[in-house]
Amino acid sequence: MTQNEIIDFMTSLQQPRFRGRQVFSAVYRRGCRGFMEMTDLPLGLRHEMDQAAEVGMPEVLSRQSAGDGTVKLLMRLQDGSTVEAVSMLYRLDRSRDRLTFCLSSQVGCPIGCPFCATGKSGFVRNLTAGEIVGQALVLLEEAAPGIGDAEKIGVNIVFMGMGEPLLNLEEVLKAGRLLHDPEGMGISWRRITISTSGVVPGIRSLMGEGLPINLAVSLHAADNRLRDRLVPINRRYPLEELIPACREYADAGGRRMTFEYVLLPGINDKLEQACQLAELLAGLPALVNLIPVNPAGEEEQSGSNPADAKRAREFARVLKGKGIGATIREGKGGEIMAACGQLRSREVRER
C-alpha cells in the first residue's frame, strides 16, 4: 500500500491522517513485521489493526553469503512462489560502504534467453509492488543488520534479478515510488536502475513517467540474426526499433545509459563484433558494461576464468578505441550462484 492507501485505511478506522504516516514509516522505513511492533501507536489501536489487516513480508527460506560480502536470499511469497534477491557490498573507501540490492520483478521470466538460469526456469507470474519492496526490506534487515537507515548508507536498487521488469512496469514503478518515498527508505531515483531485455513499448512508457530512473539494456549482440537467438524478444522488437527508443530515452533524461553485454566465448566475443557494437552505438551517450558469462547450468562450478577476463579487457579496449565507454562488471557472488543470470526459483542442493 502507498502512503495514501494507508492513510485511507487508517481514516476508515476513525484515526487521524498522521497515524497513516506513522504506519507507513513503521513498515517502509523501520521494516516492522507486525502491528504489535509499532510501539508508537496506542495498544488498543494495534489490536484493532491486527484484526483488520496484516503486514506481509516475504519469508526467508534460505540465506547464503559469500566471502565478498554478497548475500543471497531465497524468499517465499504468500502463494508459495519463491524468488531470489541479492545484496552486494561495495567498499567506497575505508569508512564508507555501499549496498546494491538486486531485486526480482517476476517469478521466472518469459523471455527465455538461453544463457540465463532464470530464463530456463520458465515464467510463473508477475510480482506485486509489495512483494518487490518486501525483498528490499528483508535484504536491508538480513544483509546489513544494524547498519540502519537506507538513506544514510546509500542503497542502490537494480532490477536485475529474476524477470523482465518492463513486462511488469506498473508494479515495478509502484515499488519504485514506495522505495523512493522520503518517509520510507528514501532512495533517490538516480540510485534505481531498471534493466530490460529490450521491451520497446515499456521503454517508451517509462520515458512517459519522466522519472530520472537509470535504464540498462541487455544488448548482447549487435546484429539481429545473433540477437534473435540470444535475446528472443529481439524477434518482436529488433535493433532498428530498440536503438532509436534507447536514444530517445537517453535524450529525454539528458544522461548516459548502459548497455549490458554478456561475453559468450566464441559466440559474441570476437573483436570484429566489438567493432560492430561500436558502430551500432555510435553517437549515443552510452556506456557498455561487459559481463563475463557465469555458468547457468546445475552442475557447473561458478568462478571466473582468466581467459574470459583477458577477452573482456580486449573487447573493452576495442570499444574505447572507437569512442564508446566500456567497463567490465565485477563478478560478485559466484560461489553462491548469486551472480548475473544465476537466480532461480528453487533451492539447488548444495554440493
What residues make contact with ligand SF4 under the rule CB under 6 A?
109, 111-113, 116, 118-119, 163-164, 197, 218
Q: Which does 112 bind (CB under 5 to 8 A by kind): ligand SF4, ligand SAH, none?
A: ligand SF4
- Least distance from ligand SAH to the Cβ atom of residue 50, Å: 37
| CA–CA separation, 334 and 68 (whole Å) | 10
Question: What residues contact residue 25 under an 8 Å CB cut-off, 6+ apart?
Answer: 183, 184
Secondary structure element (H or E) that encloses residue 217, with its range: strand 214-218
Rule CB under 6 A: say whether 192 interacts with ligand SAH: no
Q: Which is nearer to ligand SAH, 38 or 230 (CB)?
A: 230
Q: Which is nearer to ligand SAH, 6 or 109 (CB)?
A: 109
Q: Which does 291 bind (CB under 5 to 8 A by kind): ligand SAH, ligand SF4, none?
A: ligand SAH
Q: Is 340 a catalytic residue?
A: yes
Instruction: Kindly list the distances between the CA atom of residue 121 and the CA atoms of 133, 219, 221, 268, 311, in Å, as whole numbers in the listed order.
Output: 23, 21, 23, 23, 29
Closest CA to 72 of 131, 139, 132: 139
Whether 199 and 249 have beta carbons less than 8 Å apart is answered as: no
Instruction: State in Å, rounded, how far the first CA of the chain is from the last one.
Output: 41
Among 82, 126, 135, 218, binds ligand SAH (CB under 6 A): 218
C-alpha cell at 170: 506498473
Whether 258 and 216 have beta carbons less than 8 Å apart is answered as: yes
- Least distance from ligand SAH to the Cβ atom of residue 179, Å: 17
Q: Which is nearer to ligand SAH, 27 or 215 (CB)?
A: 215
Among 84, 171, 260, 269, binds ligand SAH (CB under 6 A): 260
Q: Which is nearer to ligand SAH, 203 or 207 (CB)?
A: 203
Q: Which does 260 bind (CB under 5 to 8 A by kind): ligand SAH, ligand SF4, none?
A: ligand SAH
Q: Is 246 a catalytic residue?
A: no
| CA–CA separation, 343 and 45 (whole Å) | 41
Whether 110 and 95 have beta carbons less than 8 Å apart is answered as: no
**Binding-site ranges for ligand SAH (CB under 6 A):** 109, 113, 115-116, 160, 164, 195-197, 218, 260, 262, 291, 293-294, 296, 340-341
Active site residues: 84, 340
